Structures are given as C-alpha cells and as structure tokens.
Amino acid sequence: MNRIRVGDLAITECRSETRLRVEWRWFLSCVACVVYLSNSFAQEANEVTSASIPNHQEIHRALEGFIAKQDIAGAVAVVVEKDRVLHLGAVGNAKLGSAVHPESEPMLADSIFWIASMSKPVTGVCVMQLVDQGKLSLEDPIDRFLPEMSELKDETGQRASITIAQLLNHTSGMRELGEPYSSKTLAEASSQYAKAGPLHFAPGTKWQYSQTSINTAARIVEVLSGLSFDEYARKFLFEPLGMKDTGFYLTDDQAKRLAVSYTKNEQGDLVAAPIFLLAGKQPTDRERFPAANGGLFSTAVDYAKFSQMLLGDGTIHGKVILSKAAATRLRTPSTGDLTTGFTQGNAWGVGVCVVVKPQGATAMLSAGTYGHGGAYGTQAWIDPVAGRAYILMVQRANFPNADDSDVRKTFQSIAAKIK
C-alpha cells in the first residue's frame, strides 16, 4: 500500500494497483481514517497509525446509523479549532457497488465532494480581499465595474442600481437564467444576467436567494484582478491555504476520488444522481465558467483549513488572508429585519448565512455562527464564540432541506460537546 498525505496528516492509502480484499477495505474505511491531532492541518505532523487514533465513536456510530437507513452512502466529518483538529473521520462508501462495479469503494479522508453553495463563502472572501486592497467598497454600484449592468431595470421599467453588498447578501432582486450553466465564461454569463429582464424587486427591499448575483460578484473580481475567477481563487486563497484538492475543475487523478452523488428513490434505495451543475459535462471539463455560486469541488480537510483561517479572523499561522476588519465584515449581518432562508433565525452577511437566533438545526451553535450548506448536503459552520468549526461532507441529492437534515443536526449536536 502507498502512503498519502491529507493536509499535513499522513494516512494509509487504501487504493493500490492491485485489487484489495473487501474485508481489508471495510476495515480501513471504518477505523483508519478517524484521526485526532493536537496540531493544525497547516503544521507538520507525525504519522498517525490506527493504533494511536482516539476514535470519537459517538460521531462514527451516528453517521453509520444514517448509512444503515440509506439516508447517505458515506460521510467525512471534521471538527476544528483555529490551531488544532478535534476530529476527522471517514465512514461508509464513496461509491456503492453496482451491477457494473460490484465492489463498493470506501469513503476516505481525502475523498472529493461537489460542495455546491459552500462556494459562496469562498466568493465572499475573494471580494473582501479586494476591499482590503482598496479596489472596491461593498457599497459601490456594480455598474461601476460592469457597464452592462447599467441596463438593469426595476419592475416599473426604471433604471435600477445594485450594490456589491446586495449581490452577496441576496437582496439584489436579480433574475435567474433558464439555462444557468450554459455559458463558457463569467463575462458571457454576466452579459446574459444584464438582459434577463426586470428585477424581481427593488434592491435591498427583500431577500431572495440569487445564484446570478453571486456569479456577478465573481465577475467583478475578474475585472479588477485581471484574472479568471478560478485563477484568482487558486492564487490568492487555495494555494496560500494549502487547499490542494479544491477548485472548479478536477484533474483526472482527482476525479477518481470524487464521491458519487446519490438520490433516495421511492423504494428507499440510494441510486446514483448526476451533478446538475455540470450539465452533462465531466468535472475535468474546462469548457464551462467557474461558477462562483456553486461550482467548487473540495475535501473536508481543505475546507477545514479555510474554516480555520476564518476562526483566526483572517489569519492562520501568521499568514494573513484577510484583515480582521474584513473577516468581521464578512460575518456581520446586513439584511436587517428581512426574512431569510434556509432555516429559522438567520440573517446574511457577505456570501455567508449568519445565525442570529439559534434554533432547530442551529440550536447547538452560538449566535453569530456563520457558514453555508451545499445542495447535496455538505455543511460548514464557523462558531466564533465557541472557537470551532464543523465540516460535514456527504453527497445526497434529494434531502427535503439539506440545511435542516437530521444528519447535520445529529453531527453538530455531538460535535459541539467534544472536549
């Protein structure tokens, strides 16, 4: 067997040139990928063997219960503070057996997931970096940078002006496209957004989740940086944080680690489901625009690094990604008394949902916790009061409400009690 490193963590690779026995693969998926470290991902760590791993069995058993009910095929869960990892565990399968491929593939700590709308906080951070650089203000009108947006009209036919802040807190009123992922570039998409029709409402007067507004913000990043959005994010965020498995386009080797997405059918069985964002394309295909609203692929370990940076108010191990002022503004509610989604008691900041009144799925979190969920059940929530973040990676296509799933609630309830 080969050795791989996940973050700065060495684990046993359970893929090899030759086929491994099912019993050995199952053993690895159940115990070898649950790790506990006193140091952070960004620091050099000694190799950890399965014999030295304190296993947080309650999290493990809870997730196994959801696998047994076929709510999910597998999961990777991480709990971090800004300078240490409290829990990292992989359970279940990244790919279930089928008639074509009878053997299942176990979920591993370095399995890759489509994180969907967990891309939005990344977009928010990229915009706030430009605020730090003095290149824009959140109160700037978007047509200052995108002339095509001067064509936007309100419901009465009058010219409408949207601010960058309104793009990122979903109060822009912008319309969606009938075929939202048909464009090859963000520039092309932005042109279509400008011609999509009158706004749903006057900017700032209502909250309505908007994919087009997030992509518009990313297009502004491109204009001001001179880089495509995927290149900007790679150069100024992913590489500095060591997020080596995060991006809009996978390599061939990364695509082999992509967990399969599943939907639950009427018989209660999990069946493979396509990633709708790809619109029939492959995750390696670059003939599609970098969808800032939900186009990223990542691992639990990579997103934990991003979360640790936010727990550090924009700084991790002396490396400044955002100023403290920018990191604070990112998580500051800006939607006032407007009713927002996707669970009760929330407001919105800069590309992030902010828990104002914890309840239900957020009851175990502190007021001021912020983050985002993804369409297929992925979740990442940063609690600045408790000083920890909770990252859950699954690929379940038809949860009634992924942000309100029992999987999320159970994981966070147990993880919040870890000492």
**Residue 176 has what pLDDT?**
97
| Whole-number Cα distances in Å, 181 to 234, 276, 302, 395, 405 | 21, 9, 25, 20, 27
Q: Is 19 helix (H, G, I), strand (E, B) or coil?
A: coil
CATH number of residue 276's parent domain: 3.40.710.10
The Cα–Cα gap between 313 and 316 comes to 8
172/256 same-domain check: no
Same domain, 72 and 131: no
Judge if 115 and 242 occupy the same domain: yes
- Same domain? For 129 and 241 the reply is no
Q: Which of 217, 234, 251 is the last residue of a domain?
A: 234
Look at residue 55 in the predicted model and tell me its pLDDT. 52
Same structural domain, 258 and 403: yes
Note whether 208 and 331 are same-domain residues.
Answer: no
Q: Are 181 and 241 part of one and the same domain?
A: no
User: With helix as H, strand as E and coil as C, how does 183-219 read?
Assistant: CCCHHHHHHHHHCCCCCCCCCCCCCCCCHHHHHHHHH
* Cβ proximity of 358 and 387 under 8 Å: no
Q: Which of 262, 241, 237, 248 is nearest to 215 (CA)?
A: 248
26 exposure class (CB count in 10 Å sphere: 0-12, 13-18, 19+): middle
- Residue 308, pLDDT score: 98
Of 186, 207, 234, the residue that ends a domain is: 234
How many CA atoms within 13 Å lie on the side-chain side of 412?
A: 30
DSSP 8-state assignment for residue 266: T
Transcribe 62-91 into DSSP letters: HHHHHHHTTS-SEEEEEEEETTEEEEEEEE
| Total structural domains within the chain | 2
Distance of CA 116 to the CA centre of its chain: 6
Q: What is the value of pTM for the model shown?
A: 0.90
Question: Which residues lie closer than 8 Å to 335 by C-beta, 6 or more apart?
Answer: 169, 170, 171, 207, 347, 348
Q: What are phi and psi of 91, to 5 degrees?
A: -145, 150
Whether residue 164 is found in the same domain as residue 300: no
Query: Of 208, 234, 260, at which residue does a domain stop?
Result: 234
> Could you tell me whether strands 379-383 and 35-37 are parallel, antiparallel, or unpaired per DSSP bridges?
unpaired
Same domain? For 139 and 115 the reply is no
Burial of 298 (0-12, 13-18, 19+ CB in 10 A): buried
In sequence order, the 6+-apart residues with CB closer than 8 A to the CB of 158 are: none
Residue type, 97: G
Q: Helices marked H in 226-312 — which ranges?
A: 229-233, 239-241, 252-255, 300-311
419 residues of the chain, pLDDT tens digit each? 332 333 333 333 333 333 333 334 434 444 434 333 334 443 433 222 233 334 589 999 999 999 999 999 999 999 999 999 999 999 999 999 987 778 899 999 999 999 999 999 999 999 999 999 999 999 999 999 999 999 899 888 889 999 999 999 999 999 999 999 999 999 999 999 999 999 999 999 999 999 999 999 999 999 999 999 999 999 999 999 999 999 999 999 999 999 999 999 999 999 999 999 999 999 999 999 999 999 999 999 999 999 999 999 999 999 999 999 999 999 999 999 999 999 999 999 999 999 999 999 999 999 999 999 999 999 999 999 999 999 999 999 999 999 999 999 999 999 999 98
Based on the domain organization, do 282 and 195 belong to the same domain? no
Residue 253 belongs to domain spanning: 3-120+235-415
CA distance 191 to 151: 10
Same domain, 260 and 386: yes
C-alpha of 39 from chain center? 23
Residues 60 and 113 in one domain: yes
